Amino acid sequence: MSEVFEGYERQYCEASASLSRKCTAASAVDGEKKKQKLSEIQSGVEEAESLIRKMDLEARSLQPSVKAGLLAKLREYKSDLNNVKSELKRISAPNARQATREELLEAGMADTLAVSTDQRGRLMMTTERLNQSTDRIKESRRTMLETEELGVSILQDLHQQRQSLLHAHTTLHGVDDNIGKSKKILAAMSKRMDRNKWIIGGIITALVLAILIILYFKLAH
C-alpha cells in the first residue's frame, strides 16, 4: 500500500473519530456553545472531504491490483462521512436537542443521551482503523530499522573489503619495488659478466700470443 495513502487514511480516521465526539457534544448543548460546536463540525467535515479526495487521487494513481482494494475502502469512508453529514443536519435542525431527548426517553435510553448507537458503531470502527494503521506504521518502522541495520552491516563489510584491497595494493606495490630492484641488480650482474668475459678473452688472447712468440723463437734457434 502507498505510504501517502496510509498517511491520508490515518488523518481521516482521526478526523472521523473527532467528528463523532463533537457531534455527541453538540447534541448535549444549546445556544452559542452549540453554534460553536456546529462550526467546528462543519470545518471537520470539509477537512475530511479534502482527505477523501486526496486518497481518491492517490488510489487511482496506483496499480490496478492495489487500487481496487483502496477504492473499496474509500467507499466505506464516504459512507461514514455521509452519516456524519446526516447527523450534522439532524443536530442543526430546530429543537434538535428536545427531539433527541424524546427519542431517547421513548427508547428507554436516557442514560446514554451523550452517545447514540450509530455514533458508537462509527467510533468503534474508527478506533479499529486507527489501530490497524498504527500496526502498519509499527511494521513499516520495524522493516525500516531492519533495513537500516542491514545497510550498516553492508557498509561495514565494504569498508573491511576496501581496507583489504588497500593492504593488498600496498603489498603489490612493495613487490613491484623489489622486482624493480632485482631487475637492476640482474642488469648490473649481466654487465659485470660481459665485462669479465672481455677481460678473460683478452687474457687468453695475450697468453696465446705469448706462447706463439715463445714457440717461434724456439723453432728459429
**Residue 59, SS3 per DSSP:** helix
Mean pLDDT of 84-103: 69
DSSP code for 95: T
pLDDT digits (tens, 9 = 90+) for 18-45: 888 888 888 888 888 888 888 888 888 9
Give the span between the Cα atoms of 27 and 23, in whole angstroms. 6
* CATH of residue 37: 1.20.58.400
DSSP label of 110: G
Q: Is residue 147 over pLDDT 80?
A: yes
- Residue 116 is assigned to a structural domain of this protein: no
> Residue 117: what pLDDT?
62
Boundary (domain end) residue, out of 64, 93, 122: 93
User: How many Å separate Cα 53 from the centre of its chain?
Assistant: 26
Q: Within a domain: residue 23?
A: yes
Q: Of 93, 116, 135, which residue is a domain's last?
A: 93
**Mean pLDDT of the 131-141 span:** 81
Asked if the structure places residue 138 within a domain, the reply is: no
22 falls within a domain? yes
- Is the residue at 211 inside a domain? yes
- For residue 38, CA distances in Å to 18, 77, 96, 124, 220 come to 13, 21, 12, 22, 151
Chain CA centroid to CA 212, Å: 99
155 lies in a domain?
Answer: no
> Is 90:34 a contact under the CB 8 Å cutoff?
no
pTM as predicted: 0.43
Q: How confident is the model at residue 50 (pLDDT cuts 50, 70, 90)?
A: very high
Q: Give the three-class secondary structure for 108.
A: coil
Q: Which of 137, 142, 37 is nearest to 96 (CA)?
A: 37
Q: Last residue of a domain, which of 93, 120, 139?
A: 93
Number of domains in the chain: 2
CA dihedral sign of residues 71, 72, 76, 79: positive
Asked if residue 154 is part of any domain, the answer here is no
Euclidean distance between CA atoms 130 and 142, whole angstroms:
18
Beta strands in 85-192 (DSSP E): none
Task: Please state, in angstroms and rounded to a whole number, the distance separating the CA atoms of residues 80 and 85.
Answer: 9
- For residue 29, the 8-state DSSP code is -
Residue ranges making up the domain that contains 39: 1-93
Answer whether residue 50 is part of any domain: yes
